[in-house]
Structure 1
């Protein structure tokens, strides 16, 4: 029995993690791949890098929790980390490859995606019980 109430709550309701990952994946793809004109240029977009950190960190955290709960063995957090970074890199490649999106690939987006994924790894090391 795990003493972490948050982890226990999610263990009993793993469907919440699966749903959250799916929803966050769709929201991330919409925010990063819709044409830039879709979003008005307001103050929230000045926090673009913080958004990358939070979105990709949260996505990685959810994926790590989901894997830990749904698998009997130990979760290799470095694989989870690489999946998070890969998701960010794929989005940047799509932005670069699809000029009709009027989006631009940015190496700093990948840097902040990576920082978010690293922070998620730290949280996962604290939350996931040792098996």
Structure 2
């Protein structure tokens, strides 16, 4: 059994982990992206903002795709999973622009959200069982 099959098998056997992960990631992403910029203090970690966008949105999209496959037991439409991650990224950038939270929407952040979603789709193609890759 290869590593991707092992991951899929583990998550199938412990399917409660995926909703917990999605909820935690969603809450964390909303906090990190919608809190006022000064509320998080100065930290060298924030200089990796773009990488953070790619990792967070990639993780969210990957978790959503695995959840959909394991809990719905039908073929995952990867374009729908990609569109969901992309829409979430766009929503956050629009909220940053529209809400009075001392944040500004950034098109480059959105591009890195997209990149993370694309990487997640590639990983899903690797992790999902052969008969359901579409």
For 1:107, the equivalent position in structure 2 comes to: 107
Runs of 4+ in 1 over 6 A off after TM superposition: none
For 1:76, the equivalent position in structure 2 comes to: 77
TM-score for the superposition, normalised by structure 2: 0.93
For 2:125, the equivalent position in structure 1 comes to: 125
TM-score for the superposition, normalised by structure 1: 0.95
1: CA distance between counterparts of 2:38 and 2:88?
A: 23
User: What residue ranges of structure 1 are gaps of 5+ in the alignment?
Assistant: none
1: CA distance between counterparts of 2:16 and 2:43?
A: 35
Superposed counterparts of 1:37-52, under 5 Å = 37-52=38-53
| Count of paired positions | 129
Q: C-alpha deviations, 1:50-78, integer Å up to 9, x for none?
A: 00000000000000000010112200001
Deviation at 1:5, TM superposition (A): 1.3
2: CA distance between counterparts of 1:57 and 1:48?
A: 14
Deviation at 1:13, TM superposition (A): 1.0
SS of the aligned residue for 1:104 comes to coil
1: CA distance between counterparts of 2:85 and 2:127?
A: 18
SS of the aligned residue for 1:74 comes to coil
RMSD value, Cα: 1.3
Deviation at 1:12, TM superposition (A): 1.0
